[in-house]
Amino acid sequence: MMSKNEQVLTHPRNETEEAALHRTEEFKIDSYFLSINNQKWLSEEFNDLEEDFIEIINNVPDYYPTILELCNIYRKTENFSKYREMLDYALKIYPEDEIFSVMNAEYYYESKNFAAARKALAALTARGIKPPVVMKLLGGVYLNFKEKTLAIESFKEYLKSCGGDASLRREVVRMFFESGDFINTLLELKDIAPCDKNAELKKIEAVCLYYKEDYKKALGVFTSIYRHYSDDIFTLMYLGDICLRLKKNYRAEYYWERALKIEPKTPEERAYSARINLFINEYEQAVKLIDYNFKKTANHYLSIFTMGLINLCEDKFHLAATHWLRVFKEKHDLFNFEFELTKKTLKPERVSEFITKISEAEYSGLCAYIKERCDIR
């Protein structure tokens, strides 16, 4: 999460920055030492600086500013073997120091040793040390261990202090959205300026508004996307669905007919086209599109879920259960996401019949989940 060029010690480029740095307790470095070496740093005379600092350490082995500067030099020059050696030296002398401890965690994270990074970060947070950089790194570690809930919590803690990190905020939005948490997705989207919302974020916002049944607002957002991306099958699929809900049947037909004239280029687009065919009761064509996907990519989970949806609409309940159970077990987040949206298009009596017909023990977890999500008693 951190750039390799980000140093713990920021060398000032002018008197104002230098004065500000001197007022910062966090860095624990005396202004005289910094001033006499800053010019060499800015002109990247790192070999000379290294020699000067090693000479100082030979005379004063525990001189904190020199140890810190050597760590910064080795990190800046990407001499990671010396950087690791100097960090070990620093932590031996100053085992409880916050800056060196954070640098240690960053080193492991950047080396992709996420287990060691997690251990180092856990030690920091256990001591109550939770500066923004620690929370950002911790979020990245959790994400690499596929612990999305913990990742989101850490990233949100980071964003409280550093709200200007637009790329990370977009990542948090995606994580909420992909986990099917559409309400929190909308809350996070409120903190992103309209001018910073690209087509992807606008689609996410529109889908969340659809989920909230705020169809007029959803229609407005999807319409704005349509003006720039008139051949986007996903957008056309939702535009038709929303228009149908708003009793604008002629507009729904227009959007769906337009979508079905477009040749889908990706497995996802074929799955969306299949759903449009499903909406207009063209089951055979829907199956053909999904079968084509299976021939190309047997484990395309969106298609597997969609085939289950087709099976359900055809009253082939056990086939539906077979397809859905596979997605439920192997890609639970995707199942959760798709089912949360799809359940709005399903008739309650059909879902109840599905639950009644599927009584085998192997489907118990799936059925319990569906009953909970659809509030079936």
Structure confidence at residue 60 (pLDDT): 85
Structure confidence at residue 159 (pLDDT): 86
For the beta carbon of residue 147, count every other beta carbon within 10 angstroms: 14
Query: Per-residue confidence of the chain (377 residues) as pLDDT tens digits?
Result: 433 334 444 556 666 776 666 565 544 445 545 556 766 777 677 888 888 888 888 888 888 888 998 998 899 889 999 999 999 999 999 999 999 999 999 999 999 999 999 999 999 999 999 999 999 999 999 999 989 889 988 998 898 887 667 788 888 899 889 888 888 899 889 888 888 888 999 999 999 999 999 999 999 999 999 999 999 999 999 999 999 999 999 999 999 999 999 999 999 999 999 999 999 999 999 999 999 999 999 899 999 999 999 999 999 999 999 999 999 999 998 999 999 888 888 888 899 999 999 989 999 999 999 999 888 87
User: What's the token pair of residue 377?
Assistant: 């008693």
What is the pTM assigned to this prediction? 0.73
Please check whether residue 186 is in contact with residue 209, taking contact to mean a CB–CB distance below 8 angstroms.
yes
Structure confidence at residue 5 (pLDDT): 38
Closest CA to 303 of 287, 321, 290: 290
User: What's the token pair of residue 36?
Assistant: 């006499």
Structure confidence at residue 48 (pLDDT): 81
Please check whether residue 178 is in contact with residue 194, taking contact to mean a CB–CB distance below 8 angstroms.
no
> So what's the architecture of 263-377 in CATH?
Alpha Horseshoe (1.25)
Q: Please list the residue range(s) of the chain that carry CATH number 1.25.40.10.
A: 15-194
For the beta carbon of residue 306, count every other beta carbon within 10 angstroms: 26
CA distance 102 to 154: 16
Does domain 15-194 correspond to CATH entry 1.10.10.60?
A: no
Structure confidence at residue 277 (pLDDT): 96
Please give the single-letter amino acid code of residue 54: I
Structure confidence at residue 227 (pLDDT): 94
For the beta carbon of residue 300, count every other beta carbon within 10 angstroms: 18
Structure confidence at residue 12 (pLDDT): 60
Closest CA to 127 of 84, 168, 174, 95: 95
Kindly state the DSSP code that residue 8 receives in the 8-state scheme: S
CA distance 284 to 277: 9
Three-state secondary structure along 76-131? HCCCHHHHHHHHHHHHHHCCCCHHHHHHHHHHHHHCCCHHHHHHHHHHHHHCCCCC
Number of residues in the chain: 377
